[in-house]
A and B are shown apart, each in its own frame.
Chain A
């Protein structure tokens, strides 16, 4: 049995192929909850969950407000909402203003997930062109969770992962393949 209950993944520009590779590598009976918080471009606001579903063995949903978080499922933050993890293992949505020009905000999702899951959380930040996620990953670390960033050398846009490495002492800097290998050891 793994010590972790949930994996939260943040990504922006250049992260979609990486996310697709990761979710398509996880088996149908993966025993953790996987939460994806991705900045989405306007033209892929809808249809992304369907596209990922085709590739993934695990069920993927855009959670509705107050939906209980279950293991073995992938949750994708809906476009145009912030996604929070509430105490009591539930999601909550919000249409508050964008944070760092982003809604969903990776920081907000990471803060709330870190607070709820504490040391049972793995936080992963992927390729991206802004600093959203850096403070979020820091809070995962401060709450005792494990922190991973995609290797900046491999990122299409390394700004986000570098910002994370600046903000906190990240536990692992991994290539996409090593991220996948690691996630599979939690199975």
Chain B
């Protein structure tokens, strides 16, 4: 059994041994991740703290293991449909469109967006940046290769967002999967086409302490199912960073069950889960 005091001491150890600070992470899920780490590594909390303080590589591994990574192609199709028909058309006339995927995990969201942009004829003008605290995940995102079987279920989402024609359900939009993916059923892989893989700029980034590292403002920032792992205080700090990093009228897109609860919410107009930065 790990106590709250154990967790606090462990967080302090990491803070003193590295630049990572988990102080303002959400209590319950963080505690559970530690408990899982102990079981997986056959250590007790004191042994774990000791090892983390002495072994930098192990510490990096712990950080990678402790951060949660879930993402899927076109997760929440309704959000993507809104993006496709209501948000992106307004940006089409822009010479450049700046997009940041903050906490991109293994990258399925980036590829979903790139596919959507390509379908709308907006691929060339898009400048795409992606970041995550977990360097393994960034590597996976860059490589753009996933387990085919695991991603099989998400073709439904692809069909809904890309192929469904909301103006005439009888006439779906014809798009072959081969346009975007190489599928190898024997090797059980689905690989994103090269033109997609080459598009985004990837950087390691810690939302807790790093600001906007891309020296750009953005038209769209994605940060979905990331701030659920932060407490209110850190959530507000991160939202503040996004607010400062958006062009006016730029959009922040959070996860389906995330919301801005602090006063920084006043910086945005909210419709259907999209936070549009107000003009000041």
Chain A positions within 8 Å of B, measured between CB atoms, are 62-67, 78, 81-82, 84-87, 92-97, 108, 112
Which residues of A are found within 8 Å of B29, using beta-carbon distances?
Answer: 82, 84, 92, 94, 96
CB <8 Å contact, A86 and B28: yes
- Complex interface residues of chain B between 234 and 280 (CB less than 8 A to chain A): 235, 255-259, 261
In order of increasing CB-CB distance, the 9 nearest A-B pairs are A84-B28, A95-B70, A94-B29, A65-B228, A64-B259, A112-B28, A92-B26, A93-B228, A95-B225
B residues near A82, Cβ cutoff 8 Å: 29
Chain B interface residues (CB < 8 Å from chain A): 26-29, 32-33, 68, 70, 225, 227-229, 231-232, 235, 255-259, 261
A-B contact pairs, 14 of them (CB 8 A): A64-B258, A65-B255, A66-B232, A82-B29, A84-B26, A84-B29, A85-B28, A86-B27, A92-B27, A93-B228, A94-B26, A94-B229, A96-B29, A97-B70
Given contacts A86-B28, A94-B68, A112-B28, 7 further A-B contacts (CB under 8 A): A65-B227, A78-B256, A81-B257, A84-B29, A86-B26, A93-B228, A96-B68
Pair B229/A64 contact, Cβ less than 8 Å: no
Contact B257 A63 (CB under 8 A): yes
Quick check: B258 and A65 within 8 Å, CB to CB? yes
Taking the closest CB of chain B, its distance from the CB of A123, in whole angstroms, is 17
Residues of B within 8 A of A66 (CB): 231-232, 235, 259, 261
Question: What are the residues of chain B within 8 A of A94 when measuring CB–CB?
Answer: 26, 28-29, 68, 228-229
Contact B28 A65 (CB under 8 A): no
B68 touches A92 (CB 8 A): no
B68 near A95 with CB under 8 A, answer yes
CB neighbours of A65 from chain B (8 A): 227-228, 255, 257-259
A134 to B269, CA, bound (A): 44
State the CA gap A66–B227 with chains docked (Å): 10
Cα distance A63–B256 when bound, in Å?
11
What residue in chain A is nearest B262 (Cβ atoms)?
Answer: A66
Docked CA distance A16–B265 (Å): 36
A108: chain B residues within 8 A (beta carbon): 28, 32
